[in-house]
Chains A and B, each alone.
Chain A
Amino acid sequence: DIQMTQSPSSLSASVGDRVTITCRASQGIRNDLGWYQQKPGKAPKRLIYAASSLQSGVPSRFSGSGSGTEFTLTISSLQPEDFATYYCLQHNSYPPWTFGQGTKVEIK
């Protein structure tokens, strides 16, 4: 099974900050990775697919990069509505499809 190691598990940031979240795969997964945002009591929402493609309707302050084993989600200027938990998901080698452990972005 492919393990997805996400870091940090939580972070505190201020509105306007640049935020970076990393996911590391236990083996190469090409660019078969998505990033998701989840707010309390809500379903996950896909932000990025194929590691770097922005989902339609998602603000351009979100971006993804990486390939192989190392991936990054960047929020260029954190907005109040971005405080949430973020997950990566690999869909290269399955079953199982595997998620990172999540990164909770909190207000500083």
Chain B
Amino acid sequence: QVQLVESGGGVVQPGGSLRLSCAASGFTFSSYGMHWVRQAPGKGLEWVAFIRYDGSNKYYADSVKGRFTISRDNSKNTLYLQMNSLRAEDTAVYYCAKEDFDYWGQGTLVTVSS
């Protein structure tokens, strides 16, 4: 069965960096694009970034463009989100999701606070 498992969340100071990972199993990872979606505490869902199956194209929400980088390693079935210049408003649970948003991970919490 499809499994997506995020890791790498934690507490970081404003201006700091963090790298999230999403380990995929149960499907042919290298054939599907992948998304990151976040949810601030008590708020709705916000799409963050997408990467095509082969990494050839990447798209970002305006709120994270220039600060976040999505990448993938198809040999390791793993998706990444490098987050730099973090701000308080980046505090959220971050989910990875398969291309059609049909499968989601359980999420990892990122807290940006001094």
Contact = CB atoms under 8 A, between A and B. Distances in A.
Interface of A: 34, 36, 38, 42-46, 49, 55, 87, 89, 91, 94-102
Given A44-B45, A46-B102, A89-B101, A95 B50 contact: yes
A95 B101 contact: no
Contact of B107 (A43, A45, A49): A43
B46 A99 contact: yes
A61 to B, nearest CB: 20
A42 B107 CA distance: 8
A89 B46 CA distance: 10
A43 B59 contact: no
25 contacts: A34-B101, A36-B45, A36-B101, A42-B106, A43-B104, A43-B105, A44-B95, A44-B101, A44-B104, A46-B101, A55-B102, A89-B45, A91-B101, A94-B50, A94-B59, A95-B47, A95-B59, A95-B60, A95-B61, A96-B62, A97-B35, A97-B47, A99-B45, A99-B47, A102-B44
Interface string B4-46: 0000000000000000000000000000000100000000111
Contacts of B106: 42-43
The 9 A-B pairs of least Cβ separation, nearest first, read A95-B59, A43-B104, A97-B47, A99-B45, A102-B44, A101-B44, A96-B47, A46-B102, A96-B61
A2 to B, nearest CB: 12
A95 B95 CA distance: 18
Contacts of A102: 44-45
Interface in B42-57: 44-47, 50
A42 B62 CA distance: 26
A49 B44 CA distance: 19
